[in-house]
Structure 1
Amino acid sequence: MEVTKAQREIRSVYINGAVGQAVSGVIWLLSASLGTFLSVQAGVISLFVGGMFIFPLTQVALRLSGRSATVSSENPLDGLAMQVAFIVPLLIPVIGAAALYNINWYYPAFMVVVGVHYLPFVFLYGMKAYAVLAAVLIGGGVTIGWTLPDSFAVGGWVAAIALLVFSLYVWRHD
């Protein structure tokens, strides 16, 4: 299978990634809300645990919409998608180290890691828009961590909004 055909199938099956971004955005929104209105601990735990369910929830949402939730076995990019998915969990210790140093760096560190995780999506989906999302998350995480080191939930809110807006954008644009 040619790369452009494989990318087209990835875009078609996953609706340009819109469903996954929406699921991520809702999890970040829930976490930011809990971190703001309940406790720092609730915000931390909800993003950590919720993040483990992004892919399964995306699969459920795609299936409930009547769409196929998997690419063909001939698609060579399926392996890349699996590898990209492991970037975030493998970097959890880095996020943990940042949060141990300053708990207010939890969301900014997560933003940087998730932003880096989106860089390979540029090739995976064949969409340059993912470079913009990556830049917003990475740049936002660094900026918030640097300029607001005493504010806990700002990064959670910024990431939630960025992911939800992005999901609407890619859903509407092919």
Structure 2
Amino acid sequence: MDQSISEAQADMRDGYYSGAAGILASALAWSIAAGVALTGSAERSIWALLLGGMLIFPVSILISKALGARGTHTKGNPLGQLAGASTFWLVFSMPLAYGLGQQKPSWFFMAMLLVIGGRYLVFATLYGMRLYWVLGLVLAAVAIALAFLAAAPAIAASAGAATEMVFAIICLVQHRQSLRQAVR
């Protein structure tokens, strides 16, 4: 059975708690990187975000399931391929961000904010939610502002953590509201 775009988006929202679990897992990875950066090790904070980033999807599945979602989309959902493609784009961008970080560590975090912000713009289509347009654009604006301020790695990583934590909470609330409306 072929799904319409709106049915596929609803399946993604149902399966992944509207993506809130992923935003939360990402915020946790940024928080760990910020904590490491605060110890004074910019190189280790870069590796903390890279390694933490690799764990975002599995951690988001656990969080989704803990919140009562399936932690997966249905087989054959055409948006699953778009999610996969955006993951490859993220992975392909990481060497560039890492190279920038070798020149100046804070540039790594700013580049990652831009890359992740761009990925969230794709999530607007995956989930059918304008929230992801706002999140993607806010992350891009934060990255640009941090560049103009020549922010230190700890500040840049903390800004990423704080931004994603705020949006994770907003997304959680929106998802719960949609569940309540569906019950009515």
Q: Verify same fold: TM over 0.5.
A: yes
Q: Once the 2 structures are TM-superposed, how far is the Cα of residue 166 of structure 1 from its aligned partner? A: 0.5
- Within the candidate set 38, 54, 57, 1:52 is matched to 54
Query: RMSD between aligned alpha carbons?
Result: 1.4
Distance in 2 of aligned mates of 1:90 and 1:76: 22
TM-score (norm 1): 0.93
Q: Once the 2 structures are TM-superposed, how far is the Cα of residue 147 of structure 1 from its aligned partner? A: 2.1
Residue-pair matches, total: 173
Runs of 5+ consecutive residues of structure 1 not aligned to the other structure: none
Amino acid of the residue matched to residue 43 of structure 1? S
Identity, % of aligned pairs? 27
Distance in 1 of aligned mates of 2:149 and 2:6: 41
Distance in 1 of aligned mates of 2:139 and 2:53: 16
* Map of 2:173 onto structure 1: 172
Distance in 2 of aligned mates of 1:135 and 1:58: 22
- Relative distance call for 1:76 and 1:172 in structure 2 (3 A) is same
- Within the candidate set 24, 27, 32, 2:26 is matched to 24
Runs of 5+ consecutive residues of structure 2 not aligned to the other structure: 179-184
SS at match of 1:26: helix
Amino acid of the residue matched to residue 34 of structure 2? A
* Map of 2:99 onto structure 1: 97
Distance in 2 of aligned mates of 1:171 and 1:64: 13
Deviations 1:57-92 (A, max 9, x none): 112223344531211113111111111122211101
Distance in 1 of aligned mates of 2:109 and 2:72: 31
- Within the candidate set 42, 48, 57, 1:40 is matched to 42
| Higher percent of residues as helix | 2
After TM superposition, the runs of 4+ consecutive aligned structure 1 residues lying more than 4 A away are none
TM-score (norm 2): 0.88
Distance in 1 of aligned mates of 2:135 and 2:97: 19
* Contact kept? 1:112, 1:141, Cα under 8 Å: yes
Distance in 2 of aligned mates of 1:63 and 1:11: 13
